[in-house]
Amino acid sequence: MSDRRRFVKLSLLTSAGLLAGKGLFAKSRTGFKPAVVKGKPVVIATWDFGKAANAEAWKILEKGGRALDAVEAGVKVPEADPTNQSVGLGGRPDRDGRVTLDACIMDENSKCGSVACLEHIVHAISVARAVMEKTPHVMLVGDGALQFALECGFKKQNLLTPKSEAEWKDWLKEHKYKPVKNIENVLPGGEKNHDTIGMVAMDTNGNMSGACTTSGLSYKMHGRVGDSPIIGAGLYVDNEVGAATSTGVGEEVIRIVGSHLVVELMRQGLDPEAACKAAVERIIARNPEASKEVQVGFLALNKKGEYGAYALQDGFSYAVRSGSVEDIYHSKFHYH
């Protein structure tokens, strides 16, 4: 059989298998018929600090408000907290001592907005929302993002707190301005050097939205952008299927377009935890050695209101708030 004929035969078999197996391409626009649990809002967010953020989001969700408003309000909590050194005000700077923020937001209509390498503005998430709502674009970066934020009336301020500045100066002494590949293991006292807030929510109408905001990896090269502001990598929402977000070393997430992958796996029938696990396994399959050295965690919510997470390493936590739950959970992980 010629190569071409073999290819055509294989393609037909694969499509037939998919059609028969999962009932994909059956009814709706993208072929997925979700079971929506209307009237039961839920919000989930990365890490322990997600709990306070969820509480803020919940104020909107419990009153029947829109998931988009809830996730924006929720992630603004860690953005404004100067003691949180991985998000917004007080975030650890890049190797030049500049605090540069990455953020994105996505709603139930697949509208999205994003800013990357934004300086001097605490609420990067609100600038991302303004990009979504007030411009014909999806993403603004660096000076352009700052210019736009100022035009919108956001206040310019210094985001580098004395604590983050002092730690950066200490880091400089030892690391001599050299970016370190696995930087998360090198902070004094073994403290982690990253953590992002990624939040996804479903409102009483069964509509989903998500937000993700971070100061990125500490002491990164100036101009480095991680997964967090990249739609599909750090965050993805498909109102027919579910939503996902990520945290950890962004380069690994970008390589597999992680959050989009998690949502597509849910579309194929995987539950949220299984979808997150499969995405983690994809990272491992691509680079088994490197994956042992870094942390990545995925967090997902489907249209039934089910949620789940999975990480490469121990230590990833996430917070959940619904009508019946207000708690922090430890994610399952691959490397024991």
- Binding segment for ligand ASP among 128-136, 152-160, 221-229, 271-279 (CB under 6 A)? 221-229
- DSSP H or E run through 315: none
- Binding segment for ligand ASP among 148-156, 157-165, 190-198, 320-328 (CB under 6 A)? 190-198
Our finding on whether 258 is near ligand ASP (CB under 6 A) is no
Our finding on whether 95 is near ligand ASP (CB under 6 A) is no
Our finding on whether 313 is near ligand ASP (CB under 6 A) is no
Among 217, 257, 294, 311, binds ligand ASP (CB under 6 A): 217
Our finding on whether 252 is near ligand ASP (CB under 6 A) is no
Task: Decide if 331 contacts 272 (C-beta within 8 A).
Answer: no
Sign of CA dihedral 179, 183, 188, 192: positive
Our finding on whether 226 is near ligand ASP (CB under 6 A) is yes
Would you call 196 a catalytic residue per the annotation?
yes
Task: Decide if 87 contacts 79 (C-beta within 8 A).
Answer: yes
Our finding on whether 291 is near ligand ASP (CB under 6 A) is no
Our finding on whether 195 is near ligand ASP (CB under 6 A) is yes
Q: How far is the CB of 62 from ligand ASP (least distance, A)?
A: 28
Helix runs in 176-296, H state only: 250-255, 258-267, 272-286, 288-291
Distance CA 335, CA 174 (A): 30
Q: For ligand ASP, which is the closer residue by CB, 61 or 300?
A: 300
Catalytic residue of the set 196, 213, 214, 247: 196
Task: Decide if 210 contacts 237 (C-beta within 8 A).
Answer: yes
Distance CA 253, CA 271 (A): 20
Q: For ligand ASP, which is the closer residue by CB, 41 or 78?
A: 78
> CA dist 40 to 2, 51, 58, 228, 259, Å?
55, 18, 12, 27, 23
Interaction site with ligand ASP (CB under 6 A): 86, 194-196, 214, 216-217, 226-228, 247-250
